[in-house]
Structure formats: C-alpha cells, structure tokens
Structure 1
Amino acid sequence: MTERTSRTVLLRGGTVYSPADPFATAMLIEGEQIAWVGSEGAADAYASVADEVVDLAGALVTPAFVDAHVHATSAGLALTGLDLTDCASLPEALARIAAHARDTEGVLIGHGWDETRWPEGRPPTLTELDQAAGGAPLYLSRTDVHSALATSALRARTPGLAELPGHHPSAPLRGAAHHAVRHAALDQLTDDQRRQAQLATLRRAASLGIAALHECAGPEISSERDLTALLALAAEQQGPEVYGYWGELSEHGGVERARRLGAVGAGGDLFVDGAFGSRTACLHAPYADAADSGSTAESDVPHTGTAYLTADQVADHVTACTEASLQAGFHAIGDAAIDAVLTGVRAAADRLGPDRVKALRHRVEHAEALDDKTIAAFAELGLTASVQPAFDAAWGGAAGMYVQRLGVERAGALNPFAALLRAGVPLAFGSDAPVTALDPWGTVRAAAFHQTPQHRISVRAAFAAHTRGGWRALGRDQEGVLVPGAPATYALWRTGELVVQAPDQRVAGWSTDPRSGIPGLPDLTPGTELPTCLRTVVRGRTVYQRALSG
C-alpha cells in the first residue's frame, strides 16, 4: 500500500472550481483533505506554513473525474494491442489484423470492429479472418462488446461451442457462445500480461485526470481472478482508485461472491439484455433493420433482441442485495429490458418497503431507451442512471448506427439526459471502456452537445455527473467537490477561456461575466481543444504530473 502524505500544499495563482468561492484562485491541502479555498490575497497567510507552494500559472483546478463504468483489462489490451476502432474499411481492418498476427505469438485478442462504419457494411467472413490471422486463434470483440468474431483455431479450443445459444458456424457469435470464446481467449493471458493491460488502463486514466474507476466485472465478461488482480494492483499503485462490481445473480451466489471478492456491489454488467449494434438490446418492437442482420437462418435473426433475465429474477436479486445492504445493478439498454428491471425493482420494493430499496441507490447501466414513464419510475425507485454520453457521440445523429437499427423516431429518443435531470434521477457518467475511450472532457462535451438537442444538459451539470455523480453512485456524497473538509482529490488543467455554458446557446448563450457568481469551466464547443491534464491528485497523493507551463 502506498504511504499516505501528511504534507501541507498551497496551490495559488490559478482558478479553483469550487462552490465555496466562485472567485477562488487558491487552495490549501493538509494531508488528505482540503483545508481552505479562497482568494489570492488571503493565500499569503498560508504561504509561510505550507511545505510546498505550487504556482498554478493560471491553471484550472477541478475535482478529479470518476469513470463509472470500465473494463480495465479489456481496455488495456486495446490500448496496447489490436484495436480496430478507427479502421475506416474492412480491408484496413484485415490488414491491421494481419500485421498484429505477424508480431504476436499465442492467442490474439482484439477489439473495436464496427461494420456500420465500413463501406462494405459487413464484418469479415470466417475465411477472411482465418487468412488475416495466419491460422492463429483470434478473439475480436465488436465495438459494443456484445458480439465477437473468432477464428477457426479459437473456435476449436472452445469446448461445446456449437451447442451454445448465439452460435453460428461462420457469422459473429452472440450470447453464451460469445462468452465462451471470450473465456477461451482470456484464459490464455498470463498474470504478467493481465497486469500490464490493467496498468495501461490505470496510467491512461491518471493522465486524463481520472481519480476513480468503477470496474464492472462478472463471470460472463471477465473472471474472479481478473477482478481480484485489479483490486490488488490498484491498492498497491499510485494511481486511480478502483471500486469493483460483480455482475452475478444472487441465485447463483452472486451476493456472497461479491462480498468475498471485495466488490462494492453485486451488479454492473449483470446483463438483462445486450446492445443495439449487435441487435441484442431487448426491444418491444422489432429492429428496423433486422432483415439485414446477415444471418443465414431465420431463427438466428434477433428481431427484438435478447432477454437474458426476467423481471422475477431482477426482483429476487434486488431483494437479496437489499437484505445484504449491498448495491445491485443491471445492464439494461432496450426498452423491454428496462421495463423488466423496473418491474423487478418495484416488486422488491413491495416486499421490503420502498425506503429500504431506495436507500441502496441501485444502478442501471446504460439505460438508453427511456420515455417519460420509465424516467418517472427511476425517480420513484431511487435508481441511479450510470450512462455513457460518448455512445451518442459515436452512434447518434441522422446517419448513425442508432437510426440504422431503430429508425429515426426511436433513435431520437435515446439517452435523454435532460429529462433524467429534470426528474431528479442521479446521473453517473462513464466510458464503458473499451467500448468508448477513456475521455472525460470528451464525455462532458458529448452530453452538452448531444446530437438530439432536447437531450442536452449544461456543461456544469455534465461535469457534476462525471465527478460528484460517480462518488454519489458509491454512496460517498461528501466527495467530488472542492470545499474545506472534503478529500483532496483533484486535477490541474491547462485550458483556454472559462465560460458558463448552457444546454442551448440560443437561450442562455455563453457567459464570462464574473457577476453571475457561477464558476466557469472550459469552453467545450465542438472544434475547440480539450483541456490538458497537468496533475492528478488522489487523497493528497500525486498520481500523475507534467510541467505546469510550456
């Protein structure tokens, strides 16, 4: 465990984003806590007693970010290995696979293909994949990680694959078949390979001003060994804190296993359904492009997606978690899946009393297909919406994947952040890395400039969801804000002009008027440069640092 600091540090000569003083330019840290926030003139009194005085040189000081949904090992493997996220065509993807195969021994693991972005409009065939991989075993997850490609060599290493739901002899694998080939590939990782991948994620997060990560683990998406290794690594490293979630039903021992593994919740990616891109998100009405799924068998076409859990299973799990005083959580994207979650949580509230259920702040991950009725139910049941604004940036808009899969009307209703906030539903922002990149300011921008204008929220609200919202989702209401007595967890930024940005600039515009008494944040208008992280500090410990000037 890294030794804690008891030093006194004075930051001065910048801008401090604090509700304690909207005009603050300085902050004093004593050990792990913030001791004072105030003006430059008052800082003189502390300069002589501080162990270190940091000249901010105009830098911005903010609470550090919290990424409320990550998969550290998979994200690290994409950072350090085969990542097809930016491939513009099928031939480019095949060429990248071939180059990686020439330089890598053993099982190959890659991520990020997205046929909806390619002119060919299809994934590689099994023959093309085998040729590109040179006959090696290869696991290649789709960008949403809800379906995958696997070479013949990896399929041969996966016992009973042909009998599993979601199997296809040549097309992408879904459901249990996907989980099986993923396990077959990840089981080949050595302890050192896993550690290096996790380190890559922690280091990237620290360099981006992220102080904490919510790891969404589980028996289908990772393993017990993976989660315990990550939690142990985070405890010994000077890097972001990691809070683990274990996504396994109570009927399978999930509550007891979450406790044993050191997880803070029995949830996260506890799948109620899949994802829109893979046509496995569970819907009430059929997919608009179900006939174009590429399947050769009608029975394999998921017209309305896939339901992995029933409302009764949700109810039993929430009941068990609540009785154990443990937070529950579910992955639910499609409207039918979200209805199953809400029905189940309401049933648990009827059994135990609504106050007991609400007190745990049970989570719904992603929660994309919402309407006014379901949003009101979120508020009624005290649910936290753990959401990913970068999904809209990647797949929203008139020509995006959402429209291809759902049509214009349903696509335009997705990710309604403004309506959630109006209803009082707590928001916690994350990336779902490697599905989208660790990119906190980009995430804030995506929420403020949602491609459906009525869903936009202010930069200030989006920033709060990506900082304090992540702590509140853990039940730590005192964290994620720079006020005296709060933990000294913050980041320093080189940035341009600070402004107050409203969700609709036609109504409120941009403001730099100090008389507003509202602290400013960086201008995140699309096309502007995002802030650069200069330092990340977690409970008084510097975990990332670069020059403050230059």
Structure 2
Amino acid sequence: MIKSLFLSISILGASSFAFAQTTLIHNIQGYTPTNAGALAQFSVLVFKDGKVVKTGNDLTLKQFPQATRIDGQGKTLLPGLIDAHGHVIGLGNNLLRLDIRGSRSIKEVGEKLVSYANKNPEGWLIGRGWDQTLWPSGKFPTAAQLDKYISNRPVVLTRVDGHAIWANSQAMKLAKIEAHTQAPKGGEIIRGADGLPTGIFIDKAENLVNQHIPTTLPTQRKRALEVAGKHLLSLGITSTHDAGIDYNTWLLYQNYAKQKKLPLRIYAMLGANDDKLENMLKHGVIKDTQDFLSIRSVKIYADGALGSRGAALIKDYHDRKNYQGLMLETQPKLEALLTQSFKHGFSAHTHAIGDRANRIVLDAYENTFKSVGGKLLRNRIEHAQVVHPQDIPRFKSLAIIPSMQPVHATSDMNMAQLRLSDAQLQGAYAWQTFIKQGSKVAFGSDFPVELANPFHGLYAAITRMSRAQKPKGGWRVNEAVTRAQALRAFTLDAAYSEFREYKTGSLEQGKWADFILIDKDFMNIDQHEIDDIQVEQTWIAGKLKYQG
C-alpha cells in the first residue's frame, strides 16, 4: 500500500498542487510499449492537463523545475491496462448477485443458493458461475437437483461461460416449459432418458426461460455500472471493451458520458440481437471529446462455448460422437449483419470459438468485403479460440484482429483436452502464432466469465500455467508470449483494436495520462509472482481514480 505516497509531494515555487498545470512522478520503474514497436523504460513521467508531456530520467527533473513532484518510492509504473473483452453490467450484476464460481459440487452450489435466498427473501433467485467439469460426475445438473434446495421460488443459474442456464422446476413452470417445448435454431434443450427437459438450456434456448425474469430496473443497471467500475479500477483497468450492450445500456452510457460520470473508459459494442439495433446504428458513431465513451462496433454471435459443447467444430467433439456443436447464425445471416454494420460505418466484432465457426465467420467477412467493403474497419473475431491452422493466416490477409483471452486457455485446458482431439488443438489458443504472422492481438478476460484481474491474464499468457503452476512447464507452451508482448496486447494493441492507439495504450507524448502504480517489477520478478501483483494506484487522464 502507498497511502503515504502523497505525503512526499513537494510543491516548488509558488504553485499549489490543486492548481498546478504540470505534474511529475519520479523515482519509478516505468515501462511502456510504443507506437514505434519498442518497449521503453523510464524513471520520470511528466503530464499536464491530463496528457503525457514526456517520459525520461533524472535529467528530466531539471527541465520542469516548477512542476508538482510526486515521489514514486521506487514503485513500478505501467500504462493503464485495457481489457479488450468484458461485460460491464454483467460484472456488476455478478458482484451483486449469487456468485457460484469455483463450486466443486452440486451440494456446494445448493448451500450457497440457500444462504443467498435467506438474505434475499423475495423474487427470482439469479446467479452465475457453475461449471460441471469441476464436479465429480462432470455431467450437466438437473432441475430436480436444484429443487432439493429451493423449490418454492424460481431459480436460474447461468453457466460460467454464459452459454447455458440451469433452471429449477418452478422457473420452468413459470416459463411454461413442457415436454413438447422445442429449442429454437441455435439452441438446445438437454433432455433426460424420458425425453423431458432436464433444466439445462443451451445458447439460444436460454431465452425460453430468461425472457420471464423480471426486467432489470434502471436503478439496478446504474448500480451495476458503478460497482463494476470501482472493481475494474482497483485492478488497474483504465479502459474496457463492453462486448455487446443492449439499448438501455446504450442510453445509460451516453447519459453518464454527458455528465462525466463514467468511472473508466468504455468502448462499447452494440448487441446484434437487440431489437433496436437499427435504431442505434442510425444514430451513428458515438464518442466524446474526453475519450471516455466510444460506440462504433457491433457484437455478433456465431456459435456457443466449448464447455457446454456449443462451439461449432469442423469434426465431431472428441467426447460426443456425431455432434459438432451449434452455429447460432447461418452464414447468410452473418453476412447480412456485417453488411448492416458496415453500411453505418460500424465495425463488426464476431464471437467465434470453434474451428467451424471461425471458418464460416472468416468466409462471411471475405464475402462481405467483396460486396460492400468494410475491410479497414478493424473488424475482430472475439475469442478465436479454436482455429484450424489453415485459417490462421486469413486473419492477417483479411485484416481481422484476434481478440483473445489468455485465462481461457488455462481455465479450459483440462476440459479442452476432453472435448477436442490433439489435431483439433493444433490451432487452439494460438497467441504466439498470431503475433508472429503480424496480427495485432488484443487481450482481455471476458469478465465475468473469468475474473477481471488482468494480472491473471498476463500470467496465463506468459506461462501457459494455472495459478497453481500446472502443468509444469506450461500447456502447449509454444504459444506462450513474452512479457513485452503480453503487456502490449493488454495496452497498445488493445487500444489499436478500438481506433485509439494515438490516444491511449501507451505513455507517449500527447496521449492521455492513464497509468497504474503496482507493487512489483512486472518485467523482472519471477514469472510465478506476476499473478499476485497488486495495484496500488490507478490514474486516468492525470487524475487519481483508485488508491489501495
């Protein structure tokens, strides 16, 4: 903790800290990627009016004799970290609702549910985070198993990846789920040996139940934004990409931006499945002069997730024969959504996890570029998790940015080896391969699917190990990245993926002074200490936003 840091501020001349135009932080171990490509080191950071004046060394101190000085006490200073894929309101809701992440059994889930119900005695019980692959059986749970704990109130628990829900019998009753209920295209209702719905609804089938959950009130949405913002700032995240917002969140973000109340910088993608998509697109690109809000892209879903076997594969799942997962949209529908986005000047960022989904999405981009253009809009594939090796070069030729989440690899590795054959894993979580071919890779966490802590992501990217340091030496370690590459993907290249590489992402002259002070030297500590790095201060535009 460095709460005493500000005690070392020395005011030179007649200026006061409150009115000083130039501020200088010295005695730091500073690192920043640069637009020129190198990783720069510095011991002094100078900023004025919220923007970087320069970085330098002790000689820089003499150039700014009237500056307000802050002694960094030898701490490490990095650019503010950018999470290129998260869900802000979802994170806030997760922090306010039942969190069952990491539960090791149905019994543990049930006990947490009962405790939460006792503290929240009315209405639907909503939670998130279960993962059946962590349980002894490894099997999907059932409504009957939830009923043992709560049967008189509706319960809906979302899987950790967001691509399946687990409902109890009361929730299914209120949703009018019956034996003859059919899943929509792009979804699956898991059924028992008797043919009846078991309580598990995958991908587009989720809405059969979710549509009956009472609508989130505006006050709840605001609270979720504020709680999520505080949490992200405490982790050193100064900017985040919100991967798929609805109309009400679109309105909320604009309102908060106008009032200068957004807690951190947000690059928001419009949800392609929102019934007001065209209306939002017609309002055009939205960005404010202080670069706190940017809305200029559309989030499209092509397939589901690997853990729920919703990811669309070219060949069968290794652990489910004659099954290749789910495409949520046809290729013609994908091309129609791309066209709709491009014609309004919006980029398209498409969720694709399985190798078949990635191939179809790449085909859709290629066809749409030929017919309507849009190649220069810095389009992205979100996750790009399992890609056929023959398709990886197409990302570069089509100028598609792979937006990837390192922690997914270390969270998924045991499950992925069950779901996929070794041949299918050849192009999986292939960060280094993408970087070597010249692709700019944007890293994120996919919070609240994963924890939002970016140092967990940096650690996973560098080591390819779990936080328990397994497997020894790393999993498919040829795809690990260097510390400089990982930092760049969480800063400057993430900024590039939102058209802000000359505004944020590095501490270069004229850019916003977004930076963090941390308790360990990221570039030189033992790699197994990276995931335990603590953020002590977070600054945005030269203003202190968080202090630990």
Q: TM-score normalised to the size of structure 2?
A: 0.84
Q: Given that residues 135 and 153 in structure 1 are in contact (C-alpha distance below 8 angstroms), is that contact kept between their aligned partners in structure 2?
A: yes
Output the CA distance in 2 between the equivalents of 1:257 and 1:60: 42
Aligned counterpart in structure 1 of residue 430 of structure 2, from 413, 416, 420: 416
Q: Given that residues 6 and 32 in structure 1 are in contact (C-alpha distance below 8 angstroms), is that contact kept between their aligned partners in structure 2?
A: no
What's 2:45 paired with?
Answer: 27
What's 1:345 paired with?
Answer: 365
Shift of 1:528: 5.4
What's 2:534 paired with?
Answer: 532
> For residues 425-504 of structure 1, what are the structure 2 equivalents within 5 Å?
425-450=439-464, 451-478=475-502, 479-496=504-521
Output the CA distance in 1 between the equivalents of 2:82 and 2:212: 31
Output the CA distance in 2 between the equivalents of 1:387 and 1:362: 14
SS of corresponding position for 1:286 = coil
Q: Given that residues 232 and 452 in structure 2 are in contact (C-alpha distance below 8 angstroms), is that contact kept between their aligned partners in structure 1?
A: yes
| Deviation string, structure 1 residues 411-439 (Cα, Å, up to 9, x no partner) | 35311001101111121111111110101
Shift of 1:241: 1.3
Q: Given that residues 456 and 530 in structure 2 are in contact (C-alpha distance below 8 angstroms), is that contact kept between their aligned partners in structure 1?
A: no
SS of corresponding position for 1:122 = coil
SS of corresponding position for 1:475 = coil
Q: CA RMSD in A?
A: 2.5
Q: Given that residues 101 and 134 in structure 1 are in contact (C-alpha distance below 8 angstroms), is that contact kept between their aligned partners in structure 2?
A: no
What's 2:62 paired with?
Answer: 44
Which piece of structure 1 moves more, 273-282 or 449-458? 449-458
> For residues 3-18 of structure 1, what are the structure 2 equivalents within 5 Å?
7-18=21-32
Higher helix share: 1
- For the structure 1 residues 83 and 522, does the alpha-carbon distance in structure 2 shift closer, same or farther, using more than 3 Å as the test? farther
Unaligned runs of 5+ in 1: 292-301, 499-520
- For the structure 1 residues 524 and 253, does the alpha-carbon distance in structure 2 shift closer, same or farther, using more than 3 Å as the test? farther
Q: Given that residues 80 and 491 in structure 2 are in contact (C-alpha distance below 8 angstroms), is that contact kept between their aligned partners in structure 1?
A: yes
Matched, 1:401 2:415: yes
> For residues 106-117 of structure 1, what are the structure 2 equivalents within 5 Å?
106-117=123-134
Shift of 1:134: 4.4
What's 1:544 paired with?
Answer: 546
Matched, 1:64 2:77: no
Shift of 1:6: 7.7
Matched, 1:80 2:100: no
Shift of 1:72: 1.6
| Deviation string, structure 1 residues 148-204 (Cα, Å, up to 9, x no partner) | 11122222333678344323422410133202423433x343333332222221111
Aligned counterpart in structure 2 of residue 278 of structure 1, from 305, 308, 320: 308
Q: Given that residues 459 and 530 in structure 2 are in contact (C-alpha distance below 8 angstroms), is that contact kept between their aligned partners in structure 1?
A: no
> For residues 194-233 of structure 1, what are the structure 2 equivalents within 5 Å?
194-218=221-245, 223-233=246-256
Output the CA distance in 2 between the equivalents of 1:122 and 1:183: 26
Which piece of structure 1 moves more, 109-118 or 145-154? 145-154
Output the CA distance in 2 between the equivalents of 1:524 and 1:182: 45
Output the CA distance in 2 between the equivalents of 1:5 and 1:80: 39
Shift of 1:340: 0.9
SS of corresponding position for 1:68 = strand
- For the structure 1 residues 204 and 64, does the alpha-carbon distance in structure 2 shift closer, same or farther, using more than 3 Å as the test? same
Q: Given that residues 14 and 60 in structure 1 are in contact (C-alpha distance below 8 angstroms), is that contact kept between their aligned partners in structure 2?
A: yes
Shift of 1:529: 5.5
Output the CA distance in 2 between the equivalents of 1:401 and 1:432: 18
SS of corresponding position for 1:318 = helix
Aligned counterpart in structure 1 of residue 349 of structure 2, from 316, 325, 329: 329
Q: Given that residues 536 and 543 in structure 1 are in contact (C-alpha distance below 8 angstroms), is that contact kept between their aligned partners in structure 2?
A: yes
Matched, 1:170 2:195: no
Shift of 1:73: 2.0
What's 2:289 paired with?
Answer: none
| Deviation string, structure 1 residues 102-136 (Cα, Å, up to 9, x no partner) | 21132111111111111132243212212323421
Q: Which amino acid aligns with 1:278?
A: S
Q: Given that residues 59 and 495 in structure 1 are in contact (C-alpha distance below 8 angstroms), is that contact kept between their aligned partners in structure 2?
A: yes
Which piece of structure 1 moves more, 57-66 or 319-328? 319-328
Q: TM-score normalised to the size of structure 1?
A: 0.84
Which piece of structure 1 moves more, 139-148 or 528-537? 528-537
Q: Given that residues 273 and 333 in structure 1 are in contact (C-alpha distance below 8 angstroms), is that contact kept between their aligned partners in structure 2?
A: yes
% of aligned pairs identical?
24
- For the structure 1 residues 527 and 474, does the alpha-carbon distance in structure 2 shift closer, same or farther, using more than 3 Å as the test? closer
Which piece of structure 1 moves more, 414-423 or 15-24? 15-24
Output the CA distance in 1 between the equivalents of 2:369 and 2:215: 43
Aligned counterpart in structure 2 of residue 386 of structure 1, from 403, 410, 426: 403
Query: How many aligned positions are there?
Result: 495
- For the structure 1 residues 377 and 238, does the alpha-carbon distance in structure 2 shift closer, same or farther, using more than 3 Å as the test? closer
Output the CA distance in 1 between the equivalents of 2:317 and 2:342: 35
What's 2:9 paired with?
Answer: none
Aligned counterpart in structure 2 of residue 181 of structure 1, from 203, 209, 224: 209
Shift of 1:391: 0.4
Which piece of structure 1 moves more, 271-280 or 423-432? 423-432
| Deviation string, structure 1 residues 380-421 (Cα, Å, up to 9, x no partner) | 11111111111011011xxx1101111344235311001101
What's 2:7 paired with?
Answer: none
Output the CA distance in 2 between the equivalents of 1:426 and 1:322: 21
Output the CA distance in 2 between the equivalents of 1:131 and 1:313: 42
Shift of 1:477: 2.0
Aligned counterpart in structure 2 of residue 244 of structure 1, from 242, 265, 268: 268
Q: Given that residues 445 and 524 in structure 1 are in contact (C-alpha distance below 8 angstroms), is that contact kept between their aligned partners in structure 2?
A: no
Q: Given that residues 67 and 470 in structure 1 are in contact (C-alpha distance below 8 angstroms), is that contact kept between their aligned partners in structure 2?
A: yes
Q: Given that residues 77 and 109 in structure 1 are in contact (C-alpha distance below 8 angstroms), is that contact kept between their aligned partners in structure 2?
A: no
SS of corresponding position for 2:375 = helix
Output the CA distance in 1 between the equivalents of 2:476 and 2:96: 34
Q: Given that residues 405 and 443 in structure 2 are in contact (C-alpha distance below 8 angstroms), is that contact kept between their aligned partners in structure 1?
A: yes
| Deviation string, structure 1 residues 48-106 (Cα, Å, up to 9, x no partner) | 422x3211001111111111111122212222331111212221111111111121132
Output the CA distance in 2 between the equivalents of 1:176 and 1:152: 19
| Deviation string, structure 1 residues 479-518 (Cα, Å, up to 9, x no partner) | 211111111111111114x5xxxxxxxxxxxxxxxxxxxx
What's 1:156 paired with?
Answer: 173
- For the structure 1 residues 466 and 22, does the alpha-carbon distance in structure 2 shift closer, same or farther, using more than 3 Å as the test? closer
Q: Moved runs in structure 1, 4+ residues, more than 4 A?
A: none
SS of corresponding position for 1:289 = coil
SS of corresponding position for 2:84 = strand
Matched, 1:54 2:79: no
Unaligned runs of 5+ in 2: 1-17, 191-196, 287-293, 465-474
Output the CA distance in 1 between the equivalents of 2:268 and 2:211: 19
